[in-house]
Structures are given as structure tokens and as C-alpha cells.
Amino acid sequence: METIEILKNTVQDYAWGSLTAIPELLGQPATGSPQAELWMGAHPKAPSQAYHDGKWESLLQLIEAHPADVLGKEVAEKFGGKIPYLFKVLAAAKPLSIQAHPNLHQAREGFERENRLGISLMSSNRNYKDENHKPECICALTRFWGMNGFRRISEIIKYIGMLCMDVLEDEIALLESQPNSQGLKRLFQSLLTMSPEKKTAAISSAIFHVTSVNVPRDLLADPVFQWIQRLHAEYPKDLGVLFPALFNLFCLEPGQALYLASGEPHAYLEGVGIELMANSDNVLRGGLTQKHLDVPELLNVLTFQEQVPTVILPRKRSEVEWVYDTPAEEFSLSVISVFPKLCWISPGNRSVEILLCTQGQLVLDSGPGDDPIHLFKGVSVVVPASVQEYHLYGSGVCYKASVPGPAGFMLDMRSSES
């Protein structure tokens, strides 16, 4: 496989998805069902189809047949002949489950263990769908709300005390006596394992305190209080409605991003974003869901430490490309915004890339012998490593998933004007 190919991608219809965002991106009519994620890549659960030699073929199978051509020799050797990332558009109209992802050692161990136990990959109580970890980067296309990582312990004590002191007095005292990572783990474990009666009482207490007529005006505007009410409207019996008091709330403006490492508890709450991650679908859930919860395994995977989410702003590479720097070895996300007379030129030595156009119209040209490909909103392509160089010109925006490596450059064609 030595040519750039257009992709046909799977849309995941999860209950929390948007009715309109992904259809609008793809220029298709809404189906009436919530469409949550557009997957671009070669994960076995939903590999993209590439239009190759006049027919649609699985990108997973094309990579298996031509690993060095598609991935490049070094990347194929480093990642076992597999594309190391999964590229998505995520469209959340409702909150996702509270979750965390395992590190590489935990994923391999858990995948092998569940295989030995004979748990089907399609089973609802399967934790590990593959043997990979899942660090990820979320980049906002619209205003994007979420939760990530444990708050400062002093903030947790303050909020839980305001909301549920009458029910969770012992749990607050426990954390006050041990204000460290072990105390956080003990608190979280006690919350997830408390009796149904106590959970109901804690939720009722919190809702009473966030809706009371005596709540000060500044607290009414506090996102913690607002999100507790919104989560309760969706999951009235789930203790996860209290978790804005435990986890950091964040709100990304369009163009801002966040990197989430393995083990960090998080939940996406609302918005549309570009998501790029290691090629995995391993999820351990902790609330705001009807799906399988494995509390012991979640506690094993989570990182119990205070943190403050760091918003990533794109670093300018050229007049037309900006990159979101993360520590991930598997992926790099950048956005290319091309204008008339400004052409983006790829590096010659690079690995496999996937491009998604989100705005405008672009022309992708890989040189003599290959027909130019026209990119418009919603169109995605895979660029094999065997394609030595390609140009992007026109007027539009695309997001590029790649493996960390050489940067492309910009050619200013305005200098040739007379």
C-alpha cells in the first residue's frame, strides 16, 4: 500500500452521544439515534475501511499485509506491526461514565488473565479488550466540560463537608486524619462500597444542600453545585453525582486540549472534541453508568494523588501548523490551517498519518502519478509512510494524527507573485 487512501469510518452509537454533531461533520442526515464517537484507525473492534485498488478494504488487514509500507519500518518494529494510535471525534450530549485506563503492564496482565478465565471479548463484564494502555489527548472543537484527577484534599473536605456532613462525617474524618494518597484511596473505596441505603442518603443530602433556598449566591454559580444537579438529573441513584466534589472540573475552549495519563480518573461531561489516544479500548468504570463496574480492579488502576489539570495550548510550528505537545510515544496531534498561497509540505521521512478535514476545502497532492484528493468537512484519509511527501493547499482546517517524528513545513507561495 503506497498511496493515500480515503477512509470510511465507524460511528459508535452510545447513549450519551449527540444527535447532530457527527452527522453535521460528515454532511449526513441525523439518524435519530445518539452518535457518540467516530473512530479512525485500525482497532480490531471497529477498523476503518480504506478505498484501495478500487474497493473498500479493512485498514487493519492492509496494515497486517503491508506493515512496513503503511507504518514505516521503525514504527512497525517498535509497535509490533500495529498502528499505535486511535483517532476519534467525540460528541457528548450527556455525561460519560467516570473511568480510568490501565498502564501498559496492567493492561497486558489483565488481558492475559481474562483470556485465561475464558471471558469473551464481547462480554459485558470484560474489563480488558486488548493488551494496550490508553493515554489520551482531548482537543475541544466546541466548549468542552469534563472532570479529571482528584482535587486538592482540602477542597474535597470542604465540598463533601458542605454537601454531606450529616451522612459522610466518618468518611470526612478519615480523610482529615490521613490527608495523602492512601487517605484518598480509603475515602474513594468507602464511597464505592457503602450500602445502598447510605448512598441514597448521601445523594439526598447533597441535592438538598445544592438546591436549598439558603444557598449563598456565589455557591449557586459554582460549577460543582451546577454539575451535581445536572448529573443527578441523568443518574438520580448513582453516587457519581457527588464526584464533581472529588474531581477537578475543567472547561476547554475551542482549540484548547488536555492530556490524560494512565490511571487518572476522568469523565467527559459535554461537548465535541478531537480525541487521540493509544490504540486501546480498555476502560475501568466508577460511576455514572449502567455498565459493568469492577471496583477492586478500578482501585488497582487508579492514581490517588492531588493534581491540577494542565490545559495544553498548541505550539506554533509554522504559519499553518500547530502541535499539541504530550509525553505520549504513540501519538502526536496537530492542526493544519491552510490559506490560499500558503502550502503545507509534509516531511519525507515520517510514519503513518490520518488527516480529518473539519472546515473548508483542501487539496492533498502527493506528486506526479497520483490524482489529487479533495478534502472537505468530514473527509478523512490515511497517508502511508511509503508516501514520501505530500502537499496540502487550498483554504481549510484539518487535524492530523501521527507518530512523533519530523515536522512538516510551510511554503509561502505569495513570494512568487509579481
The residue ranges of every structural domain in the chain are: 7-147+251-312, 153-231, 315-416
User: Does this model's pTM top 0.85?
Assistant: yes
C-alpha cell at 61: 488487514
Distance between CA atoms of 258 and 282, rounded to whole angstroms?
A: 19
Strand partners, 399: 335, 356
Is the fold of 7-147+251-312 the same as that of 315-416? yes
If one compares 219 and 35, the residue with the highest pLDDT of the two is 35
User: What local confidence, expressed as pLDDT, does residue 6 receive?
Assistant: 96
Contact 98, 147 (CB under 8 A): yes
pLDDT above 50 for 415: no
Neighbours of 354 (CB within 10 A): 25
Contact 71, 81 (CB under 8 A): yes
User: What local confidence, expressed as pLDDT, does residue 227 receive?
Assistant: 96
Q: Which residues of 129-152 are buried (b: 16+ CB within 10 A; e: fewer)?
A: bbbbbbbbbbbbbeebbbbbbbbe
Mean pLDDT (the chain, rounded) = 91
Model confidence at 343, pLDDT cuts 50, 70, 90, reads confident
Q: What amino acid positions are annotated as catalytic residues?
A: 285
Q: Which residues of 293-311 are buried (b: 16+ CB within 10 A; e: fewer)?
A: bbeebbbebbbbebeebee
State the average pLDDT over residues 287-304.
91
Model confidence at 318, pLDDT cuts 50, 70, 90, reads confident
pLDDT above 60 for 236: yes
- Residue 396: its H or E element: strand 391-402
The CATH class for the domain spanning 7-147+251-312 reads: mainly beta
User: What local confidence, expressed as pLDDT, does residue 407 receive?
Assistant: 53
pLDDT above 50 for 414: no
State the average pLDDT over residues 378-405.
93
pLDDT above 70 for 383: yes
Q: Which of 156, 187, 193, 159 is nearest to 174 (CA)?
A: 187
Model confidence at 212, pLDDT cuts 50, 70, 90, reads confident
pLDDT above 60 for 379: yes
Model confidence at 90, pLDDT cuts 50, 70, 90, reads very high
User: What local confidence, expressed as pLDDT, does residue 371 receive?
Assistant: 84
State the average pLDDT over residues 361-383.
90
Task: Identify the three-state secondary structure at position 183.
Answer: helix
pLDDT above 80 for 128: yes
pLDDT above 90 for 180: yes
pLDDT above 50 for 228: yes
State the average pLDDT over residues 73-83.
93
Superfamily covering domain 315-416: Jelly Rolls (2.60.120.10)
